[in-house]
Each structure stands twice: as C-alpha cells, then as structure tokens.
Amino acid sequence: MTRHPRGALFATSTMTGFGIATWVTRTPAIRDELGASIEAMGLVLLGLSIGSMIGILGAGALVRRLGTRPLILLGGALPVVGMVLVALLAPAQVPAGVWAGLFLIGFGSGVAEIGLNVEAAAVERHIGRPVVPVLHACFSLGTVVGGVVGIAMTAARTPVAVHLLVGAVVMAALAAFAARNLQPLPRAAAQTDGADAAETVGASRVTTATRRSVITVQLALVAVITLAMAFAEGAASDWLPLLMTTDHDAPEAVGSLVFTGFALAMLVGRSAGTPLVTRLGRGRVVRLCAAVGGIGVLLVVVSPSPVVTAIAAAVWGLGIALGFPLAISAAGDHPTDGDRRVSVVATAGYIAFLVGPPLLGFVGEHLGLQAAMLVPLVLLVAAFVVAPAARDADVRRTVPT
C-alpha cells in the first residue's frame, strides 16, 4: 500500500475529528441559541448518537457485502451535509433541524469508523507495523486543529453559522482528497492463505452459527474495553465545554480551551505511545490507560476550580489515548476473522455514543455534570480489571449462547 491510499484513511479520520471538534467547541453557543436546558441538550445530542449507532450497526454487514470503500466515501460526504444543516438551522432556533444535522454527522461518522478501523486493522496485519494507533492519532489531530479554530472563532465572537460553514468547507476538502486516493487493500493479501481469502470473499453468506463462533470470551472482554474507552472519550467530547460553563461558571472560550487540551493530550498519547506498547505489551498498556484515565476523570469529579479541571482533563485524555485503538488491534489480531472481529468490537464500543449523551445529560441535570462523570469512571475501572484480554494471546473459547 502506497502512502496516498493510506493517507486517504488518515485524511478521513482527521476530517471526522475536525468535524466533531468544530461542533463541540460551539455547543454552549448552540445551546444558548436553542434555549435548551442541559437535559434538552442531551436529547439534541442524541441525534448524533442515534445516527452513529444506525451507521455502526449496519456497517458490519455492509463491509462484508461491499467492502470498506463505499463506507469510507459515505462517511466523508454525509458529515459535510450535516454540518451545513446545523450551521443554518441552529441560529434559526430549529432543534429538530439541528438534531437531523447531527444525525447525518453521526451516521456518516459511524459507517466511516467501522470501515476505517476494519481497513486499518487489515493494513496493520499486512505490513506488520502499527496503523490503527496512527489512524486514531489523526482523529485526535483533527480534534486539536478543530479545537484551536473553535477557540479562535469563539474568542472573536464569530457567529455559529459562519464558523460551522467554514468547518464544512475544510471537511469537504479532506473528504475529496480521500475519495481521490482511497485504494482498499485486497483481502486476499491480508489473509494467511488462499482458503482464508475465500472465506473473506464469501463472508456475506456465512451462517448465523459461523458468525457466533467469532465471539470468544477474549473478544467479549475486549468489547468491554472499547465500550469503556469510547464512553470516556465521548463524555469528554460531549460535556467538557458545558461542564466548564455550568459547574464552574467559566467563559465559553475557556470551555473550548479545556476540550482542546483534552484532545491535544490524546494526540500526544496516540503519537508517542507505540514504544510503550513494544516495551510493556498491549494488555499492560491498556491497564495503564484505564488507570491514568480514571485518575483524570476522578480529579474532574472532585475539582474545586477551572484550573484543576483543565489539568485533570489533560490527564484524562492522555490516559485513555491508546485504549480504544489497542482494543481494535487486539480484535483484529486474527489470521482469518480479523475483519469480523473488528466490526463486532467497534460496534460494541460505539454503543457508548448512543447511551452516553442522554445518560450523562439526565444525571447532570439532577446532580451536576461533575457528578455525572462518575459513570465513565466506573467503566474505566471495569476496563482496568479486564485489560489482560487485550494481550497478544488469542483465547478460543466461545461465549455460551
């Protein structure tokens, strides 16, 4: 695989992160324009989550039938359309329209996430070098750039519509680059022999019993890790700016700055963490991620000031940075069933994006957003406990059904 086809994967992931950050940095302003309470804002955010889950749940079957290319291309186009809708309908005070725009962003991002992770895991197996962590580092890079732009736009009091439309143009450029250069790896080259390739080609016709055999105890535990890490990342993305403005009475720009610090910490962790994996092993690094991330979340819960919260958010981001990509690598570490295993685990992880916004919005409405962060903390504790499942060894015993 040449640089440009691999770059297409990275460009799409960067676009997704940039789009999410563009939206997140303006959530307080959009909430004010809509006149929504915290709980009502959770329902608006549900559009993003439902779109993501519909895309994710349907993406596994689409990958087996169509391959990864259509999913990645669709994931580049729909978020641009969704961003334009949010840009135009938030100032018009149309919550249903904002919900629809977020739905398109979520649906496009959802199908792209599955396609990108499946393709990156296949490339990783093929070339024998880390690709999934780099893919997720590109997402973090997108969030950092989008966050910095968001801070500047917020500080300059740029109207939400102008900011989001500029973001849509940048996203469209990245999507166009990806569409031009995307060349998915032939699955025959990613398998160990001809029989394995034949199994991949015929994956759309596998029986229910065969699909169930993919689910092992080890894979189920890896799915717990992905769910915990995705929930923790989503909680920060959805609620950190609002937590700063509501629980700490900080200016909107400070909320954007804290989120950007979180994203920057994730970028650093994903970019510099590969040598740590080589030295300690995948399972130990996942456990370390859960521990450090949990400490960061706990500090956010008990923080008495915006400054402490900002530092804690950086610890939170640095801690969980490698958790999700390493879990995806663990799922894809199989000679014949890598694609299906990645699809199963990624789907389980992205369930967090469905239950996260309304659950944390409900808890935050009644107990405050700081207290609501106890939910991702509990999930990170669970990930700490089951972290050895992400080790290199593959456990074959299936879960009883």
Q: Give residue 110's identity as a one-letter amino acid code.
A: G
Which pLDDT tens digit goes with each residue over 101-134? 999 998 998 888 888 888 888 887 777 777 888 8
pLDDT of residue 159: 92
pLDDT of residue 392: 65
Packing angle, helices 38-66 and 352-367, rounded to 10:
170
Enumerate residues 6+ apart whose C-beta is below 8 A from 308. 299
pLDDT, mean of residues 288-293: 96
**Cβ contact 240:255 at 8 Å:** yes
Enumerate residues 6+ apart whose C-beta is below 8 A from 367. none
- Find, among 319, 252, 329, the residue nearest to 283 by Cα: 329
In 37-156 the beta strands, taken as DSSP E runs, fall at none
Which pLDDT tens digit goes with each residue over 191-229? 444 344 334 334 334 434 444 456 788 889 999 999 999
**Cβ contact 109:143 at 8 Å:** no
pLDDT of residue 189: 44
Enumerate residues 6+ apart whose C-beta is below 8 A from 69. 115, 182, 184
CATH for 3-390 is 1.20.1250.20
Mean residue pLDDT across the chain: 82
Q: Give residue 9's identity as a one-letter amino acid code.
A: L
Question: In the structure, what pLDDT confidence band is assigned to residue 136 with cuts at 50, 70 and 90?
Answer: confident
pLDDT of residue 400: 37
Between CA 60 and CA 57 the distance in angstroms is 6
pLDDT of residue 391: 82
- Find, among 176, 155, 175, 153, the residue nearest to 165 by Cα: 153
**Cβ contact 300:246 at 8 Å:** no
Q: Which residue has the higher pLDDT, 173 or 367?
A: 173
Is the pTM of the predicted complex or chain greater than 0.75? no
Residues β-bridged to residue 216: 398
Question: In the structure, what pLDDT confidence band is assigned to residue 335 with cuts at 50, 70 and 90?
Answer: low
Q: Quick check: 272 pLDDT over 80?
A: yes
Question: 186 in helix, strand or coil?
Answer: coil
What is the token pair recorded at 297? 């979340």
- Find, among 40, 270, 274, the residue nearest to 139 by Cα: 270
pLDDT, mean of residues 327-334: 82
pLDDT of residue 333: 76
Q: Which residue has the tokens 């994730």?
A: 266
pLDDT of residue 121: 80
Question: In the structure, what pLDDT confidence band is assigned to residue 329 with cuts at 50, 70 and 90?
Answer: confident
Between CA 173 and CA 194 the distance in angstroms is 39
Helix runs in 336-373, H state only: 338-350, 352-367, 369-372
Between CA 256 and CA 147 the distance in angstroms is 7
Lowest mean pLDDT across 13-22, 307-316, 335-344: 335-344
397 to each of 53, 200, 217, 287, how far by Cα in Å?
28, 22, 6, 23
What is the token pair recorded at 64? 């087996």
Q: Quick check: 240 pLDDT over 90?
A: no
pLDDT, mean of residues 35-52: 80
Residues β-bridged to residue 398: 216
Within 10 angstroms of residue 384's Cβ, the number of other Cβ atoms is 18
Question: In the structure, what pLDDT confidence band is assigned to residue 190 with cuts at 50, 70 and 90?
Answer: very low
Which H/E stretch holds residue 297?
A: helix 282-302
Question: In the structure, what pLDDT confidence band is assigned to residue 1 with cuts at 50, 70 and 90?
Answer: very low
pLDDT of residue 206: 40
Question: In the structure, what pLDDT confidence band is assigned to residue 353 with cuts at 50, 70 and 90?
Answer: low
| Phi, psi (rounded to 5 degrees) for 67 | 85, -175
| Side-chain-facing half-sphere of 375: CA atoms under 13 Å | 25
Question: In the structure, what pLDDT confidence band is assigned to residue 297 with cuts at 50, 70 and 90?
Answer: very high
Q: Which residue has the higher pLDDT, 133 or 285?
A: 285
Q: How buried is 57 (Cβ within 10 angstroms: 0-12 exposed, 13-18 middle, 19+ buried)?
A: middle
pLDDT of residue 211: 45
**Cβ contact 206:212 at 8 Å:** no
pLDDT of residue 273: 79
Enumerate residues 6+ apart whose C-beta is below 8 A from 271. 137, 140
**Cβ contact 88:161 at 8 Å:** yes
What does the domain layout of the chain look like in residue ranges?
3-390
Q: Quick check: 284 pLDDT over 60?
A: yes
Instruction: Give the length of the chain.
Output: 401
Longest dimension (CA), the chain: 62
pLDDT of residue 385: 96
Question: In the structure, what pLDDT confidence band is assigned to residue 399 with cuts at 50, 70 and 90?
Answer: very low
